[in-house]
Each structure stands twice: as structure tokens, then as C-alpha cells.
Structure 1
Amino acid sequence: MLKFYCAPWSRASGVFWLLEELGQPYEIELVDIRAPGGVPESYRAIQPNKKVPAVEHDGFVITERAAITMYLADAFPQAGLAPPIGDERRAAYLTRLVYCDSVFDPAIAARAQGLKYGGNGFSFGTFEDMVANVEKILAGQAYAVGDSFTAADTQLASGIHFTMNILKVLPPLDVFGDYLARATDRPAYRSYQAKEAELARRATPVQFKAPRNA
């Protein structure tokens, strides 16, 4: 049994896409994070901060996007989305995955909220360094890990799409746009988009606010 706790057009989107890439049956549990009454307190038993996504697989609960992505890609190796241990790409694969959660995401959030700080002020470093690093990676190769699509791309590409095209925080560099065109030109991505749009009809409408520095 594979259950996916999610909200449409949220931080769960990359895992939603990953689930379609895996080609395994799964059950969707809508967590309406935008409901007027908030997320039910009972959801803390699944995710202690009442955030999405979360996944339940055979009685085990996994939270945090990087952990979920690693777990699922390794649990279903037939999908070919994770370099196995011993593969020379494994180190870069794990690095990119964790980077999305530990550097990319908080640097974007800090910039969107207008937070001013020095390079050593926070563990994730500066927004400018993050942008330069992602640009360098994608300028030198087709995907997050070399020339082949991996589970890391579901997280990096979904993050770039949201922060560049929706939040308008990440600069619209050509290298980012070219990468998105490659990474999202997949049947699983189109399938995920259709399912997420259907899920959105059941949830409280999204109201995105322009970032302070826009």
C-alpha cells in the first residue's frame, strides 16, 4: 500500500510527479492546507509540522521531500530513477536532492520574504550563490545528474518552475527555461499535471501573493 498525503500546487508537487514516474498504484489523501479552518490537528500524527508532502508505504511514514524521493526511487528500482550504490553518479544524485531542500528552497523563501543577511548568517548561504550554483550545474549538463533523467529532476525542475514562473523570485535565465523544457517533456509529467488539476477542484483555491521584492 502506498498513500500520498498532498495538496495541489504546493511543495508536494515534485513528489506527485515522481509517483507518476514510478508507475506504481497509489492512493491520494488530500490535505487541504489552505482551508479556512487550517489543517486538522490529527494530521500531526503523519507530519509533525502539518506540512505536505508525506508518504505512507507498507506501514512506514516518510516525510521531507528529499527523504521521500530517495526512499521511493530506491524502493522501486525498476523505474530506473536512482543511481544505485556504487554508481559514480550516486554522490551527485544525493547531493542534488538534498540541495533542493536544504539550500534552494530556504534561499528562495528568504529572498521572497525580503530577508537581509550576510553570507554566514544562515546555514543555506546566499541567494546569489544558490542561483550561480544551479546555473553552473545546468549549463554543463542536460539534467540534475549528468545526461539522464533521475528522481532528482522531479524535485529540481518542479522547484525551478514554481519559483521562476509562479513566484517570480528565481531569475528567468535561459539555462533554466531550457532545462525545464527538457525535464518536463515526459508522459509522467503530463499525467501528474492532469491529476493535480483534478485534485485542485476539490481543494480551497490557491491565492498566490507577489513576493516583496517583485
Structure 2
Amino acid sequence: MANHRDELVFHTNPQSRGRIVRWMLEEIGVEYRTEVQSYGSSMKSPEYLAINPMGKVPAIEHRGVVVTEAAAICAYLADAFPDAGLAPATDDPLRGTWYRWLFFAAGPVEAAVSAKALGLLPPPERAGTVGYGSFEQTVDTLEVAARSASPWLLGDRFSAADVYVGSQVDFGLAFGSIPERPAFAAWAGRLRAREAYQRAQALDNALIPAKG
């Protein structure tokens, strides 16, 4: 029986980016305990702020370590549970591609999509002052990743990069925050067909309070 230190605790809310980490956990197939944090209450409690001072989810606790930020959690879990095969070895040239797309989605994609949704995109003459350049440039580069996913970002090998970057595409198509393009739709279709994706969706959907 695993000791308490080895227990993996997953802090989330079913209506958050925690859905990305839930999917990652289901792909790994490891045991974990879910702690649902509520917006405006437990998420801002002293107990949770001691875990994540940002008062946000997702976060995990594992082996005495706290990891926050969905991309970082996906990368951590892939390395912490290598038997799942969701990260190339450190001496594998594909490790560079894996890092590239993970951090591209966590940086330029996240920033550009959020800025556009809030009406805060810089004017063209100031595009060089932000890390993503322009929304159009970022989406075009994301499409390069989607086109290279044949079927996955690392070729025949599914990885944590598909979970995280693919989630950005999946969410973007669902909420209209990225444009509909054939490469995005095709990749998202392959992702949604995965059993772990479907299990994760069912688990999170079951946690959403019914409207009535």
C-alpha cells in the first residue's frame, strides 16, 4: 500500500483547466484522489492558498511536491510515471519537439487567445512587444502543429503534448476562441476518440451541479 507521501492529490474544478489534467491522469492510469475546489470559497481559503497562492486550479500534490499550471503538471506527470510512455526520454531527439509544442501552447497560444477574448490584442505596429506577435500568426503556427499531428505530435506516439496542446484546440473549437480549420477538426476528432479522454469527460461532467 502506498504511503501518504506517495498519494497523488488532484485539486480541480470541473469547469476549469483542471479538465486537461484529469485527462492526463486518465491517460497515465494512476490512482489519485480528487479534491474539488469551489470558485470564490474553498479556492480562496487559507488551506488552499497554502497550496497555490494564486487561488486557482488545477494543482497536484505528489511526493511532497506541489505542481501548478496545467502544462507543468502534464510534463511532471509524464516524467513521474514513465511507464505510461507519455514523454520521450531526455536523450531522445523528439524531446525537443515535445517541449516546443508544450511551451508554445502554454505561452503564445494561451496569451493570444486570452487577449483576443478580452479585446486586448495590440495594434499591428505594437505586435513585436508581445511574445505571441499577433493572434493570426499564433493560430497559423498552431495549425502547423495540428497538421504535423499524423496522428500525433510525435508521429505514431501519443504524448503529454497531445493532451495539453490538443486541449487548447479542443477547447478553442468548442468555445469558438480559435477558428475552425480542417487540421484542427481532424486532430480534435482523434483526441476525442481516445478512451482516456472520454473517461475524463464523464468524470468531470458528473461533478458539474445540475441546473434546476
Q: Where do 1:150-165 residues align within 5 Å? A: 150-165=159-174
Query: In the alignment, what sits opposite 2:4?
Result: none
SS in 1 for 2:61: strand
Contact 2:43–2:49, Cα closer than 8 Å, also in 1:
no
Q: 1:38 Cα shift? A: 7.2
Cα distance in 1 for partners of 2:57, 2:162 equals 19
> Any idea what SS the aligned residue of 1:152 has?
helix
| 1:144 partnered with 2:144 | no
- The separation in 2 between residues aligned to 1:155 and 1:82, in whole angstroms, is 12
Q: Which has the higher contact order (CA 8 A, sep 6+)?
A: 1
Which amino acid letter does the alignment assign opposite residue 30 of structure 2? Answer: Q
- Is 1:122 equivalent to 2:130 in the alignment? yes
Query: What is the one-letter code of the residue matched to 2:43?
Result: V
Give the aligned CA root-mean-square deviation in angstroms. 1.6
Select which of 68, 87, 96 maps to 1:91: 96
How far off is 1:48 after superposition?
1.5
Residue in 1 that maps onto 2:207? 199
- Name the amino acid aligned to 2:167: S
Q: CA deviation at 1:120?
A: 1.4
Measured in 2, the distance between the counterparts of 1:4 and 1:140 equals: 31
Following superposition, the deviation at residue 50 of structure 1 comes to 0.8
Counterpart contact for 1:149–1:183, Cα < 8 Å: no
On the 8 A contact 2:173/2:180 being kept in 1, the answer is: yes
Q: Which runs of 5+ in 2 are unaligned?
A: 1-6
Q: Identify unmatched segments of 5+ residues in structure 1.
A: 206-214
State the number of aligned residues: 200
CA positional deviation for 1:170 = 0.3
Q: Aligned pair 1:11/2:20, yes or no?
A: no
Partner of 1:74 in structure 2?
79
Q: Following TM superposition, by how much is the alpha carbon of 1:123 offset from its aligned partner in structure 2, in angstroms?
A: 2.1
Q: TM-score, normalised by structure 1?
A: 0.88
- The equivalent residue for 2:45 is 41
> Aligned partners of 1:38, 1:44: CA distance in 2, in Å?
9
Q: Percent sequence identity over matched residues?
A: 36
Whole-Å separation in 2 of the counterparts to 1:127 and 1:144: 22
